[in-house]
Amino acid sequence: MKDFPTVSWYQVLKNRKSILKNPLPFHHYNFEKLGDTFKVKIGPSGTILFTRSPEYIRRVLQKQHKSYHKSTLQTRDLAKYIGKGLLTSNGEHWRTHRRMVQPAFHKKKLEGLLGIMHAAIVEELERIKPDEVQNIYPLMGDLAFQVVAKSLFSRDDIQGQMAQLKEISETNQKMLIREMRQPFMNWWFKLSGEIKRHLSYSEQARTILDGIIQERIDSGTEKDDLLDMLLKARYDDGTPMSRAQLIDEVLILFTAGHETTANALSFTLFLLAKNPDAQQNAFESISQVDLEGDNPMETLSKLTYVKQCVEEGMRLYPPAYYVDRVSIERDQWGNHSIPKDTMILLAMYELHRDIRFWNAPEEFRPERFDAANKKDFQEYYYPFGAGPRMCVGNNFAMYEMTLVVAEILKKHEIKAVTDNVEINPLITLKPKEVVLKFVPRKKGEPV
């Protein structure tokens, strides 16, 4: 580790206010100054290794993934709020539950959910205000949350519980960010009772979910939704998940499933508004497709250019803008020896915008993701991670986002109101707001 350039603890303290607000400029400055991999001192003895090296990122996530686990940022700090499930566990616990949950997100299973997903999308998009300036981010958050809720529970009568669950999720995330970016204040967060209060919110969320799950069991009905699939999942010995574990997995699906999708959709819609040629190309491609067709999977297969727009949006604004890992054993990477217990942050935001790997990286060019170009970017693009721990819901998210963009562009032309969108890097990469104007398309409007 001594061979890596170092950002001193003094520099961190000096820039603490700007880091708390948005750490990306501080890290970008250091990447440009120090190179693809450097270490940051976070106290008298603490060190974090930052990297945007595609070779090392691929090593950590794929080639040598058994030597790297998720860090305590997720397995301890995040887990205390949302439980110990796929997102927040390591080792055998993770492997066992990945095998149980994975079948629920198989493409064949998701095909049966597309009707529920599409109906939820159409209903939520009715809230778009024609010809009015509107911050689309809250709407995308509500939409994504409702899609997850209805795909899980197939119910329309639990809006109150879902609204409460969403509020708890967002409140606890803000608390966690304060803990992560102000570790020197953790003693006060504990002493003042703030952490205890937020943990009580988590218990409220678990109680809500427990009640909904019990109602399903008591009803004796099968709805072939995600909850049914999880209730039917079995360990190797034939036993089902415990209720506590089931609640953990459902809570994580809500937390991870709706927020990343809302973020990516909001950024993509802004980029389409700022790039009218790409928006027109997308509209023309949608005009050739019956979005109400009887075969939703076939419909999705025809929305190729819309999918490329979403992929390009996630390149420029990856929801998981940093991926954390910790080395569980010493690893030798080239001339570098990575000690055991090294905390590593993989800088996806930096890699996705690196001019060495992307032509005009700051520009929105959906054509990059044409199937013929796949080999050009597969080693530099990680919107859902990679390797065994690649996001289990990646297909679900892509289907949802493609349908949302298609439904919006079919009915509206999107106009940008601001020149830029201000980012808000929390657990995931969020926009502060995305202000757009939606102009209704006239029936029979030529393409």
H or E segment to which residue 430 belongs = strand 429-431
pTM over cut 0.85: yes
- Measuring CA to CA, how many Å separate 182 from each of 20, 177, 239? 8, 8, 42
Q: Report the mean per-residue pLDDT for the chain.
A: 91
Phi-psi region for residue 323, left (φ > 0), alpha (ψ -120 to 50) or beta? Answer: beta
- In the chain, the domains with their CATH numbers are 101-316+359-440 (1.10.630.10)
CB 13 within 8 A of CB 58: no
Which pLDDT score, from 0 to 100, does residue 1 have? 66
pLDDT at 436 over 50: yes
Q: How crowded is residue 225: how many other Cβ atoms within 10 Å of its Cβ?
A: 20
CB 407 within 8 A of CB 108: no
**pLDDT tens-digit readout, 219-230:** 988 888 889 989
Which pLDDT score, from 0 to 100, does residue 314 have? 98
Q: How crowded is residue 361: how many other Cβ atoms within 10 Å of its Cβ?
A: 16
Give percent above pLDDT 70 in the chain.
Answer: 99
pLDDT at 447 over 50: no
